[in-house]
Structure 1
């Protein structure tokens, strides 16, 4: 009976079979390749069928329809990926580092503030993705700037106005990114207001679709505050304060991930202070201010137990870009980075015997969301490190100067590490996208090709011995690392910091220039 069905299906016209296969996602195509030789050959010999598979391997999504067909897009995609794997950049330029209140690098746009009222924008190019270089300036926003954030996919510019005196409400202006006017999707007059505790605030800004989150970091002795608005309606969705909330990121257009550097947790033996990640559904309408202990959180993810006497001091989360289903609407790019899975980079600073030690925890957002979804609506669950950490994360010592962590060092599933001060290693790019690793493992089973690989693949678990943790910590999230040729800056210039976005590596040199390497 099975043989008859298979012959009947394969007897369909070749064009119809190809059309059916084109409707499948990449996972289904990979399964079909294993069904029979006919399917394997049909998929292997078709650019239309190879393209979605290679998009997934590159952590990309297909762009809008254009004159560029699947075959041409596939060629560009592979060339783009090879350029990143070999650091074979297509263009290099320098820009002056401006003295100003803020800096942002997001979705290929570098933003600098000069003075306290002028904003300079530079859209970084990409020959592979048909992105032209573009520059524009807002000469005077009309007030002193405290900080900025952008979301190019929504033509959104968020500008926080520096309050004239301490104690004044902080105004958040919602404007169009490509034109100096209030954003038409924001409720008139396009300004949000908040009066946080404390003085001398710094800010963390993040946007996810219609949600705008701002973390207000005050001078010492006051609580951090995080507020999430629906920026289109002006309605506050979430408002929480805590001395230990030092960072956040959006997991989706519902869930937000909070980094708590230290929170009391009752065990059978004692009450411990444990760094943790807390997931909250911001659509639950926390319109009134709450302490974090009163928030009805979905779940929390614990770090490994700290050693006796360890004092955690800071926990930073970096994950860019925020999850968003669309590329920039005005750009006809053939493909663009996927936001379905992102690398979450958590950096924990802690003191042990008065020595500050920093560690980095790498986790994919899909792993966190998978645990959240497994609860099926139940709230308040605690995932101890042993339950979630060893298989879903990679814990390691900070591979570069920890004081450089304000820059954008993560993008998609990639993390970039600056050269070490002693010169023992150059720029390194860590990629936690699991699909290239699985492909490499499959090829290695067929034939030993490890000697020809550009990247080093880390698939075995590692053990971190650190004085800040009570025990040795094992972690096993696979990744690959490009130990790449040096990017020379010329002359006697040295690296200060290094940043990463979709199509560029940006090095901040000691010559006060941005050295931009574009792919």
Structure 2
């Protein structure tokens, strides 16, 4: 835990609250129980203690700040009734009052789709964010249309969006783009059908989960799960020739021939730069170094579909990246620095199951 921005609590009072908070978590005892009605929505987010969900008309949103007596956080609920367009997906960062919204793509009269429209708004009002040079970012992957899906992450001034093309569509690739959302400058653009998901490690490093091809035998080609850590601030427009010098690939356990990985997801909340808004005056919060990354995928054969869940402390990843080397096999880093649970099945939809170093499974 890191100290919060509160200026009214003494060190002794802060420590007392921290110990009570840790005891409540270890014993799973809460001080109050409140039932609230939640609108079921296709699009929702739970980040840094704020729940948000889209409304049925796809133009409005509801928000709820989850309360905490031990951290002096009151419950607060509010709505944005009409954002001004149809919402396809979104994420948020309460510490910056930032709401990132992807507009539902709509074809023109000729059936062509314009660039993807990414709006930068405030969480409390839905108005354009005052820190953004332009409240609208535009990007158009090749063959972009309304069937594409998105993974959205924010850390401080950086916004990452992975544009995921529909499965089975020929000629398309996923694309990962990182902006400085305040200036509008693109810091990295990386296409690749092998990419599955991503997460920010630090304000400069990003980790991408990938399924790469490997040749086991002359007639057998398999998919190999790997984690690629790269410095996105050193990318250039010709990333394929430049980025390799600033990247490190960590191999995961190899699967036997006939078993294929799929649906490889990275989860880690909050982002590396997260710090509560000073107006909240919380006594403490999750430290930026006290985070785990949960990597999940499915190992499938003709008869079996087995879940794999991998827990990786942040420091393990940073140590391997800083040690140098472009390709590191699983045996060189995994057994001593991670933990695998092969029977733990996480939900593909309810994915907000990690916060700091805590992991919740039902």
> What TM-score do you get using the length of structure 1 for normalisation?
0.64
Q: Which residue of the partner structure matches residue 287 of structure 2? A: 338
Task: Tell me the equivalent position of 1:243.
Answer: 193
- CA shift, 1:280, in A, is 1.3
Q: Matched residues in 2 for 1:372 and 1:341: separation?
A: 18
Residue in 2 aligned with 1:14?
A: none
Q: Judging changes above 3 Å, is the alpha-carbon distance between structure 1 residues 207 and 149 closer, same or farther for their aligned structure 2 residues?
A: same
Matches within 5 A, 1:148-163: 148-163=90-105
Matches within 5 A, 1:459-478: none
Of 227, 230, 252, the residue aligned with 1:280 is 230
Partner secondary structure for residue 417 of structure 1: coil
Gaps of 5+ in 2: none
1:387 aligns with 2:332: yes
Q: Which residue of 2 aligns with 1:461?
A: none
Secondary structure of residue in 2 paired with 1:67: coil
Check if 1:365 corresponds to 2:306: no
Give the match's secondary structure for 1:323. Answer: coil
Contact 2:209 2:228 in 1 (8 A): yes
**Which of 347, 352, 355 pairs up with 1:411?**
355
Tell me the residue number matched to 2:149: 202
Counterpart-to-counterpart distance in 1, 2:104 and 2:285:
35
What is the CA–CA distance in structure 1 between the aligned matches of 2:127 and 2:118, rounded to whole Å?
A: 14
Relative to structure 1, is the Cα distance of residues 80 and 248 closer, same or farther in structure 2, using a 3 angstrom cutoff?
A: same
Once the 2 structures are TM-superposed, how far is the Cα of residue 264 of structure 1 from its aligned partner? 2.8
Q: 2:129 corresponds to which residue?
A: 183
For 1:369, what is the secondary structure of its paired residue?
helix
Whether the 8 Å CA contact 2:165–2:174 is kept in 1: the answer is: yes
Instruction: Report the count of equivalent residues.
Output: 350
Whose Rg is larger? 1
2:34 equivalent in structure 1: 93
* Contact preservation (8 Å) 1:101, 1:147: no
Equivalent position of 1:173 in the other structure: 119
Against the structure 1 CA distance between its residues 287 and 329, is the aligned structure 2 distance closer, same or farther, given a 3 Å change threshold? farther
Distance (whole Å) between structure 2 residues aligned to residue 246 and residue 387 of structure 1: 23
CA contact (8 A) 1:121 1:136 kept: yes
Q: Distance in 1 between matches of 2:214 and 2:199?
A: 23
In structure 1, C-alpha distance between the alignment counterparts of 2:84 and 2:361, rounded to whole Å:
38
Distance 1:314 1:120 in 2: 29
Answering whether residue 57 of structure 2 is matched by residue 111 of structure 1, we say no
Kindly indicate whether the alpha-carbon contact (under 8 Å) linking 2:155 and 2:274 is maintained by their aligned counterparts in 1. Answer: no
Whole-angstrom CA distance in 1 between matches of 2:217 and 2:11: 59
Establish whether residue 140 from structure 1 lines up as the match of residue 82 from structure 2.
yes
- Superposition pairs for residues 258-337 of structure 1, below 5 Å? 258-260=208-210, 262-265=211-214, 273-287=223-237, 295-296=243-244, 297-324=246-273, 326-337=275-286
Offset at residue 268 of structure 1 (A) = 11
SS of the equivalent of 1:192 reads strand
Bigger Cα displacement from structure 2, 82-91 vs 96-105: 96-105
Structure 2 contact 115–140 (Cα < 8 Å) conserved: yes
Alpha-carbon distance between aligned partners in 2 of 1:162 and 1:138, rounded to the nearest angstrom = 17
Deviations 1:6-63 (A, max 9, x none): xxxxxxxxxxxxxxxxxxxxxxxxxxxxxxxxxxxxxxxxxxxxxxxxxxxxxx1111
Query: Alpha carbon RMSD of aligned pairs, Å?
Result: 2.1
- Paired residues for 1:347-358 under 5 Å: 347-358=296-307
Q: Deviations over 1:163-220 (max 9, x none)?
A: 11262211000011222211111113x1001112343112111001111001112211
The answer to whether the 8 A contact 1:229-1:237 is kept is yes
Question: Could you tell me how far apart the structure 2 residues matched to 1:182 and 1:385 are?
Answer: 45
Q: Identify which of 55, 77, 89 aligns with 2:18.
A: 77
TM-score (norm 2): 0.91
Distance in 1 of aligned mates of 2:44 and 2:202: 25
Distance 1:287 1:93, change over 3 A: farther
Deviation (angstroms), 1:350: 2.1
SS state of the match for residue 278, structure 2? coil
Give, in whole Å, the separation in 2 of the partners of 1:96 and 1:149. 21
